[in-house]
A and B are shown apart, each in its own frame.
Chain A
Amino acid sequence: MTTTPTPPTKTAPAAPADPAGKTPPTARSLTWARRRLSVARFWSAYRGHRAGLFGLAALALIALTALAAPLLVGGDVQSVTNAPGTAMEKPSGEFPLGTDQFGRSLLGLLVWGARISLTVGLLAAALSVAIGTLVGIIAGHYGGWFSTVLMRITDWFLVMPALVLAIVLATVMSRNVWTVIIAIGITSWPTTARLVRAQTIAVESRPYIERAKALGGGHGHIMNRHVLPNVMPLVLAQTTLGISSAILTEATLAFLGLGDPTVVSWGGMLQDAREAGAVSSGHWWYLAPPGIAIALVALAFTLCGRAIESVLNPKLGVAR
């Protein structure tokens, strides 16, 4: 993607002129050329946000670590029975971050924990944004009493204390990763729904929607082919911001003992540390790394989300 950086404008990108007047371009090739162009333009604007680039780099690093965890630290770090060290060792050459109360390497656990944090964060945010987008588009498209009812439900979810609701859901359902994902996803969609609804209404007031209707486009066609692509950028920014709060909520639930007990997670490590008395015995090296890891991932997603937001909405540009 090294097309010349055109100055970012808010208007829809025009299809590029036919290169040499050879065969007339098909509709598909035109669409793809347009998409490539807008991705290139997006990237050249995003590159201007140093904080956003930092977030992206941090995310790439963490994602690679998480993917390569079995290669880096081996698959048996979680095993309590044949742990390599003795309990609660200080950081040393063999165990760079020390060991936990079972003698497991904390570095290994930390690397392994990245997998669950990222998985839950991504899936929960995806679920929440999917519900939010669906509700938002439907409420914005149909209008009338149906929309009113949907928005009342949304408002009601909005005043619910999300963390309490998530905790309650995680308590009443069985303890596994999916419960956590569902509990976070179900409690965090209303903001997305409100934003998407507003955007849907704005998009549907434009003339080309009227044209699509005149040409016989049904509800499904308009929502899928016209409204959805237009709300996608907003949804993307919302997802990125949602992931960081999902990761924080996941850590909180795991710390409260509501996570999957069979999986190593950063929040779970903090709970283990607290139960092992790391606080009163002053074992700060046990407590510090998981928290720093959580904060780093959450911060990286927040920085990316803010950068995406200000690229898409140049009015926020001053907020850089």
Chain B
Amino acid sequence: MSTTSTTGTTAVARASEARAARGDVRAYLLYVSGKIGGAAVSLLAVLVTSFFLFRIIPGDPVKAMTHGMPTSAEQMATLRRQFGLDKPMWQQFTDYCAGALSGDLGMSYQFRAPVGELILQKVPATLLLTGVAVVIYSAIGLWLGTRSAWRHGSLGDKLNTGVALTLWSVPGFWLGLLLIITFSVGIGPIPGMFPTGGMESGTESGFAYVADVAHHMVLPVLTLVAVGYAQTLLVMRSSLLDEMGSDYLTTARAKGLRDDAVRRRHAVPNALLPTVTMVFINLGHVAAGSILVETVFSWPGLGGLFYQALSVPDLPLVQGLFVVFAGAMIVMNLLADLLYPLLDPRVGR
């Protein structure tokens, strides 16, 4: 914030400027620590909720685990001891909290493996799929939203908004199923061009492997983009519409800037803030939001794992994934909050 001018700066002015800069930094630090503290409290609350949410379930987890298998009473008691279910509730709770804070989320009933490990294995696939999708749909949403707002009321705008709203109303998993039928199984003259699911064929390596994964990603990414871009579009459109009547745009035009330059250099940067928040919140949602699409396309990610865990139900795994999904949201919200004052000097003062 401290701008130094070459002429006419007195020592007094310089000192007060430095003080202002220090004040800014302090205000920012205060803001940052407040936000981090809030996020930490939220994370703790998530841990506590996840514990009690899964203890209100009626029935015996050990019975569910051994469903359909002949089990003796001793075996059930052993299982109960193994999963710590024989201890009193408060002790289970403290064990759980201590474990979760050190990264141990318990054992999966279904896979008989640590939940944390299972989740970590699946993170890259989900990050790849949803990361690519979020980047693409944010870009498309920003571009179309800007165009729509700049020519609001035109036929193009109406078409744009109409298509976006329609796609937004479509259930993503259904669109995915239709895409599989159309482009993987093939109907009529359309041949099956894309794989029906999974992430790789398992036979390629090197560059061919990358191409293979990309080939597998086309349809799921298309589904996520189609269902997701509407939100970015609508937010960008309405925040740019808010800026449309502003005086500074008139000034920019009066200076003789071309329409295109007024939009790119003046209007869009100011309208971008709500959309940036939106993108971060979407990034937080991605893990959770891809549950259905990953299930439909058998994508080996967190969403697919969540679906598998649900069908048992494998409570420690569901619980661990719940914590991870909520944690991702909290972290992304925190990042958006921290980035905000850097983008917009009016925030956090």
Contacts and interface: CB of A to CB of B under 8 A. Distances in A.
Contacts, number: 131
Contacts of A274: 177
Contacts of B288: 161, 163-164
Interface string A230-243: 00000000000000
B186 A282 contact: yes
A287 B181 contact: yes
Nearest to B329: A159
A83 interface: no
A257 B153 CA distance: 43
Categorize the interface residue count of chain A: 35 or more
B173 A252 contact: yes
B171 A160 contact: no
Interface residues of B, number: 54
Interface SS of A by simple majority: helix
A291 B310 contact: no
Interface stretch (A11-19, A218-226, A292-300): A292-300
Contacts of B196: 279-280
A172 B241 contact: no
Given A164-B291, A172-B53, A291-B175, A159 B326 contact: yes
A2 to B, nearest CB: 29
Contacts of B180: 279
Contact of B178 (A159, A255, A267, A288): A288
Interface string A252-265: 10011110000000
A320 B169 contact: no
Most B CB contacts (10 A, CB to CB) among A161, A248, A273 go to A161
Contacts of B244: 318
Given A159-B330, A252-B173, A291-B174, A282 B292 contact: no
Interface string B277-320: 00000001101110110010000000000110011010000100
A284 interface: yes
A178 to B, nearest CB: 15
A295 B322 contact: no
Interface string B152-195: 11000000001001101111011101101110011100000000
Interface of A: 51, 155-156, 159-161, 163-165, 167-169, 171-172, 174, 244, 248, 251-252, 255-258, 267, 270, 273-274, 278-284, 287-288, 290-291, 294-296, 298-299, 302-303, 316, 318-320
Contact of B169 (A171, A244, A252, A288): A244
Contacts of A302: 165, 168-169
B169 A164 contact: no
A161 B327 CA distance: 9
B343 interface: no
A81 to B, nearest CB: 27
Contacts of B289: 161, 163
B28 interface: no
B328 to A, nearest CB: 8
Contacts of A174: 58
Q: Which of B173, B178, B187, B241 has the most CB of A within 10 A?
A: B173
Nearest to A320: B153
Given A280-B196, A295-B169, A172 B57 contact: yes
Max chain B Cβ within 10 angstroms of own Cβ: one of A156, A295, A303, A319: A319
